[in-house]
Amino acid sequence: MGNPIFWRLVLGNAGILSLSVIACLYSIVQLGTLSSTARAALDSDHRMIGYQEALTDAFLSEVRYGGKYIFTHAEDRHQQLDQFKNDFVRYLGQLKSLTDSEQMTNSLSKIEQFHRQYHELFDREVTYIRAKQTYAQSRYQQERDKILESVMNELERFKALLQSNLHDKLESMDRAARTARRIAIAATLIVTLLGTWFSFRMSQRLTAAPNVPKLARETDFLISAKRWSKRLAIFTSHTLTSLRRRLALLKGVTTQKGAIKR
């Protein structure tokens, strides 16, 4: 295998890069989720609130033109009432197609039921009016007022459900944003600390690695110096011994020559 320090550098940087990529991918996914939730809140819920308001206006227009027809017996008032009735049915269908909650579906079913009861009662009055027959108008008026109150109460309840649903979506967006923020901060801190620790460790290893040959060179130098000093001492000792022997020989020769002269 190659240089272990090199592979440690590669593996350490790869690990830090992987953590960074995971944190970035998580942030991207969370931002995409928040974006889709925001679009749904702005598109679907706001459209439903608009349809709810249009549904309320259409029903009040039905009640107004129905009262005018009963008072004037004019057929154009009845035609206008039918137009608003068709608008009511269209808006109600739009709301049903956008509703994703069981409570809101049940509320719309109740509104549809009250609306049908109102027109059944109104159609009976129209039959009496067109046949020019007498009927208990005050009783019919009371029944229509009760149905009107029930419809308006259910419309208000449906509006409250819409607002609650929108509030829940905004709360979930806020929680997701806070969670993503905390995770991003934690990942950034982890990557920073790991990068700092890894760089410190590698710098220590890289600084300590060249000292090994240096110490070896110093040791070799000391050993060589000791060897040379030992050799020098031996050489000096031999030289001195040789000099002593030569001096002794010279001294002996000199002594012999002196004796001969004598």
Q: What is the structure's pLDDT at 212?
A: 44
Q: What is the structure's pLDDT at 84?
A: 94
Q: Is the pLDDT of residue 90 over 70?
A: yes
Distance, CA of 70 to CA of 46 (rounded, Å):
36
End-to-end CA distance of the chain: 89
Q: Containing H/E element for 44?
A: none
pLDDT in tens, 27-42: 777 677 776 767 766 6
> pTM above the 0.75 mark?
no
Q: Are 77 and 44 in contact (CB under 8 A)?
A: no
Q: Is the pLDDT of residue 165 over 80?
A: yes
Q: What is the structure's pLDDT at 26?
A: 72
Q: Are 154 and 110 in contact (CB under 8 A)?
A: yes
